Structure 1
Amino acid sequence: MGEKPQVTPQRILLVTGMLGAGKSTALRELEDLGWESIDNFPIRLLDRLVGQDSDAFSLAIGFDCRTRGFVPSDVIDQVKHWVEEENIPITTLFLDCTGNELERRFNETRRRHFLAQDLPVASGIAAERELLAPLRRWADVLIDTTDFTVNDLKQTIREQFSQSAPQQMTVTVSSFGFSRGTPPTADLVFDMRFLDNPHWQEGLREQTGLDAPVGEFIERNAVFASSFEKIRSLLLELLPHYAEQGKAYVNIAFGCTGGRHRSVYTAEKMAQVLRDAGFSPTVLHRNLGSRAAELVEGTQHP
């Protein structure tokens, strides 16, 4: 008789946390990484998903205080059973955020908190935090999104939960506005505010660095070409050394005042340079969208 084929064990990731902390964003990013994701699945039916024969060996299950049958102590007991009795590898991810930032996000998006329909949103956040405290202590991975943008959270999820270690270094080129702070995950930051600002040019204010007229205006700046070439040379020298040191992720960030013109154009142009040099950069533009609207649970995005 031949040997039985080796079966790859099912990977289970439970994703939970505070409403507004970014669970929906995390689940969408996990889908992009190859996980099959299910959100707000009834707790009592989890046994039908976990430990069953399935072609989907990477399964991310999202739940929170809105999920039917949600009792934190029951979830913890069930996970203990799967891990200890059935030897199923399960990881629990908890997404947290400070109360003040959560309140700001809810107020900005004008959404009611599930636990505070007729009360101030702060009351619902406090009740939810008390309810979820056991799960927060139990979780294997804790991510605090207080100072995160959507792109910051996506990058963190990629670093933590990609299905396999990347074969080559992952390079991200991003743009941002200093008016909303420096990206906390940036490794290299270049300030492009020394360039003339298209914001003050008639006809360019409503456009972005993705539009040709803005790029043409920036290119006409006397110092753009020389400064861009110096940054290009620096990056092409540094990136191979980062790879030699085993660094899996490098985030190169370009900033300007609002994050819509100079930084966007420079990031796009530099990303093309890196592609020509053999890298495969991901390009992210932080301030071309709304941070709070994207992070609050349930908001849909194209």
Structure 2
Amino acid sequence: MTEPERTPTADAAELTTVKPVESELLVVTGMSGAGRSTAANALEDHGWYVVENLPPQLLGTLADLVSRSPTALPKLAVVVDVRSKALFADVRESLNALSAAGVTYRVLFLDASDDTLVRRFEQGRRPHPLQGDGRILDGIAAERVIMTDVQQHAEMVLDTSDLNVHELASAVTELFSESGPVILNLTVMSFGFKYGVPVDANFVADVRFIPNPHWIPQLRPFTGLDAVVSDFVLKDSGAAEFVDRYVHALEPVLEGYRRENKHYATIAVGCTGGKHRSVAVAVELAKRLGQLPRVTASTRHRDLGRE
């Protein structure tokens, strides 16, 4: 007896592999007043299902729900913070439990300087959730102690001190609006050392060894975004060698970030005032790093125009 012929439809059915839907779980946390609500709104605008003020102990329950119905909640963001009072003390234990259960998640930690946080609370005329009968600064200090461990283990730390609500929403959009997880998104930030080192930088490069255009009268009015200054800075042999070697040194680091499922990093490039050398070098570094496989790079000039 001859076997019946297999129909093309049956063959296709056997050969077709349906790729399972993978859900994303993002834990949003950070200092009170640093912009968690703004970040949550931006995520919601781009298709994320957002749960705010969730007690950390319920993270596992919610993650289990998502794993059972990934198509229903493909992108879930959970905001956890000290508003849950004593329950927040178990946040690290809850996150560790997620890892032990094989749940993949990322943590976005929003931070800002104490001065910025005080100003925001005063403008909003609301007390800090931990200040009690004390000052706003007392509440901030208490929160920083509680948040230290979470911040140290966060995959992404975003300093919002110099961002208004629109800029913060744009920053969150840039990170999370793509369909699917970001591979590796680099921010190359120029800054001036006289204004302080960025607190959210993963790497800090000092380019004050390059001749300063500030001391050349015809270049002083321009910035590192102008070709006349950029050409002057980058044609210096030391600057060209630095960019080449720095990109080469960062390549294995960025590859390691991808292996460790890290999707965001900030590289800060500083000169004295953040106007000439750091701006020109940051633009060049972003261009070169953005050419690496599975890397996107953008620039931010923190102190440009500040003088």
CA RMSD of aligned residues (A): 5.8
Aligned CA distance change for structure 1 residues 20 and 71 (closer, same or farther; 3 Å): closer
1:219 aligned residue (203, 221, 231): 231
| AA matched with 1:62 | V
The 3-state SS of whatever aligns with 1:255 is strand
Contact 1:15-1:61 within 8 A present in 2 as well: yes
Q: Percent identity?
A: 20
Task: Give the Å deviation of 1:165.
Answer: 8.7
**TM-score normalized with structure 1 length:** 0.54
Q: Which has the larger radius of gyration?
A: 2
The runs of 5 or more residues in structure 1 that have no matched partner are: 291-302
In structure 1, the residue matched to 2:31 is 18
Q: Which amino acid aligns with 2:203?
A: D
Q: Aligned letter for 1:187?
A: F
- The aligned amino acid for 1:217 is V
Q: Work out which of the residue numbers 36, 39, 43 in structure 1 matches 2:48.
A: 36
Match of 1:142 among 119, 142, 150: 150
Q: Quote the residue 2:277 is aligned against.
A: 262
Out of 223, 233, 250, the position equivalent to 2:244 is 233
Mapping of 1:221-300 within 5 angstroms? Answer: 224-242=235-253, 246-248=256-258, 252-275=267-290, 280-288=295-303
CA contact (8 A) 1:174 1:285 kept: yes
- Unaligned 5+ residue runs, structure 2? 1-12, 162-167
In structure 2, the partner of 1:298 is none
Classify the secondary structure of the residue corresponding to 2:298.
strand
Q: Which digits, 9 at most, give the CA deviation of each residue in 1:43-98, with x for residues without a partner?
A: 8xx99x943755333311325577xxx66549979x98xx89xx995979695879
Q: Are the structure 2 counterparts of residues 228 and 19 from structure 1 closer, same or farther at C-alpha, using a change threshold of 3 Å?
A: same
| Whole-angstrom distance in 2 between the partners of 1:125 and 1:178 | 26
Higher relative contact order (CA 8 A, sep 6+): 1
Residues 1-302 of structure 1 aligned to structure 2 (within 5 Å):
12-24=25-37, 27=40, 36=48, 38=50, 40=52, 50=62, 51=65, 53=69, 55-62=72-79, 73=87, 101-107=113-119, 111-112=123-124, 114-115=126-127, 123-124=135-136, 126=138, 136=146, 142-143=150-151, 149-150=159-160, 166=183, 172-183=187-198, 185-187=201-203, 189-192=205-208, 194-198=210-214, 205=221, 208-210=223-225, 212=226, 215-220=227-232, 224-242=235-253, 246-248=256-258, 252-275=267-290, 280-288=295-303
Q: 1:75 to 1:239 in 2, by over 3 A?
A: closer
Number of aligned residues: 254
Amino acid at match of 1:19: S
Q: Provide the TM-score with structure 2 as the length reference.
A: 0.53
Matched residue of 2:236: which SS?
A: helix
How far apart, CA to CA, are the structure 1 residues paired with 2:293 and 2:110? 37
Deviations 1:86-131 (A, max 9, x none): x995979695879xx43453237852452269x999624545777x
